[in-house]
C-alpha cells in the first residue's frame, strides 16, 4: 500500500500573542505541533466557507430595480420600522 505524499510549503503568519498562546495550549493538550493545530484551523476555514448560492439573482423583480440599486431605500425602510417598534 502506498502512502499519499502531500507537498507542504513553509509560510509566515502574524498573530496576536494571546492567540498564539491559546493555540500552543491546544497543541500541548492534544500532543500535536503548533503547525498541525494551525493547519487544522485553516482546513476547517476552507471547509466551512460560505458560498453564494447559485440561485441568487434568479428571481423576478417587482419592476423597481434590483436590491443593489435600492439599498438606501431598503435600509431606510428597515430602520424606520425598527425605530417605530421601540
For 6-60, write each residue's pLDDT tens digit.
Answer: 899 999 999 999 999 999 999 999 999 999 999 999 999 999 887 766 666 555 5
> What's the pLDDT tens digit per position in 25-35?
999 999 999 99
Query: Nearest CA to 57 among 67, 46, 43, 48?
Result: 67
Q: Which of 21, 43, 49 has the alpha carbon at shortest distance from 34?
A: 21
Question: Is the CB of residue 48 less than 8 Å from the CB of residue 42?
Answer: no
Amino acid at each position: 500500500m502506498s502512502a499519499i505524499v502531500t507537498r507542504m510549503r513553509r509560510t509566515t503568519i502574524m498573530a496576536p500573542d494571546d492567540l498564539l498562546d491559546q493555540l500552543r495550549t491546544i497543541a500541548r493538550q492534544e500532543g500535536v505541533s503548533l503547525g498541525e493545530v494551525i493547519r487544522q484551523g485553516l482546513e476547517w476555514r476552507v471547509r466551512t466557507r460560505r458560498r453564494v448560492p447559485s440561485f441568487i439573482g434568479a428571481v423576478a423583480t417587482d419592476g423597481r430595480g434590483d436590491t443593489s440599486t435600492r439599498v438606501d431605500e431598503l435600509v431606510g425602510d428597515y430602520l424606520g420600522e425598527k425605530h417605530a417598534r421601540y
